[in-house]
């Protein structure tokens, strides 16, 4: 058994530009800042679309499904009291060049593989909803 993450969650500051992302999980939905002009998802969020420079940007819901691009099982106790936990870079299905650094949960290290399909689950910590990922419930392991 590995943990879902470190013993203690260092949390983001909910500044105006990122608060939507870190609180999006309140209704169980993952959102990214999307350009209304060219539909490009911009992550991390910025004041203009990095593809077309439009300022017409708004948070937009995504499916919450993605793919493990790479991972690591962390053993070093950087944060005191932590048990081993799994980190991953997960790309989102809607735009695979958007990746989240995240934790994989409900899975053991020996069952993790690059390319495996995952879906978002949120961990509520103070006023933040951290997007973590677990193997897809419909077993999309191919």
Written as one string, the DSSP assignment of 26-71 is GGT--EEEEETTT--EESS--SS-TTT--S-EEEEE---EEEEEEE
Nearest residue (CB) to other proteins, 9 versus 60: 9
Residue 50 C-beta: closest distance to other proteins, Å: 9
Residue 99 C-beta: closest distance to other proteins, Å: 5
Residue 55 C-beta: closest distance to other proteins, Å: 20
- Could you give the strand order of the β-sheet that contains 57-61, starting from the edge strand earlier in sequence? 41-42, 31-35, 57-61
Q: Residue 87, interface with other proteins (CB under 8 A)?
A: yes
Asked whether 89 and 70 are in contact (CB, 8 A), the reply is yes
Q: Residue 10, interface with other proteins (CB under 8 A)?
A: yes
Task: Give the C-alpha distances (Å, rounded to integers) separating 138 from 15, 94, 112.
Answer: 36, 18, 16
Q: Residue 19, interface with other proteins (CB under 8 A)?
A: no
Q: Residue 70, interface with other proteins (CB under 8 A)?
A: yes
Q: Residue 15, interface with other proteins (CB under 8 A)?
A: yes
Q: Residue 120, interface with other proteins (CB under 8 A)?
A: no
Nearest residue (CB) to other proteins, 12 versus 140: 12
**Chain centroid to CA 11:** 14
The residue from 33, 62, 92, 130 that contacts other proteins (CB under 8 A) is: 130
3-state SS assignment for residue 114: coil
Residue 22 exposure: Cα atoms within 13 Å on the Cβ side: 16
- Residue ranges in contact with other proteins by CB under 8 A: 5-15, 18, 43-44, 69-76, 78-82, 85, 87-89, 97-103, 109, 114, 125, 128, 130, 132
């Amino acid at each position: 058994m590995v943990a879902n993450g470190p013993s203690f969650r260092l949390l983001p500051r909910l500044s105006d530009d990122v608060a939507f992302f870190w609180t999006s999980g309140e209704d169980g939905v993952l959102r990214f800042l999307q350009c209304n002009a060219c539909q490009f998802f911009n992550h991390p969020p910025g004041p203009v679309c990095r593809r077309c420079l439009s300022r017409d940007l708004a948070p937009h819901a995504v499916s919450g499904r993605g793919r493990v691009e790479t991972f690591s099982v962390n053993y070093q106790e950087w944060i005191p009291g932590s048990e081993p936990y799994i980190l991953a870079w997960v790309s989102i299905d809607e735009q695979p060049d958007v990746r989240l650094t995240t934790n994989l949960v409900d899975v053991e290290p020996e069952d993790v593989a690059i390319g495996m399909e995952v879906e978002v689950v949120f961990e509520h910590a103070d006023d933040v909803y951290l997007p973590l990922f677990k193997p897809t419930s419909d077993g999309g392991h191919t």
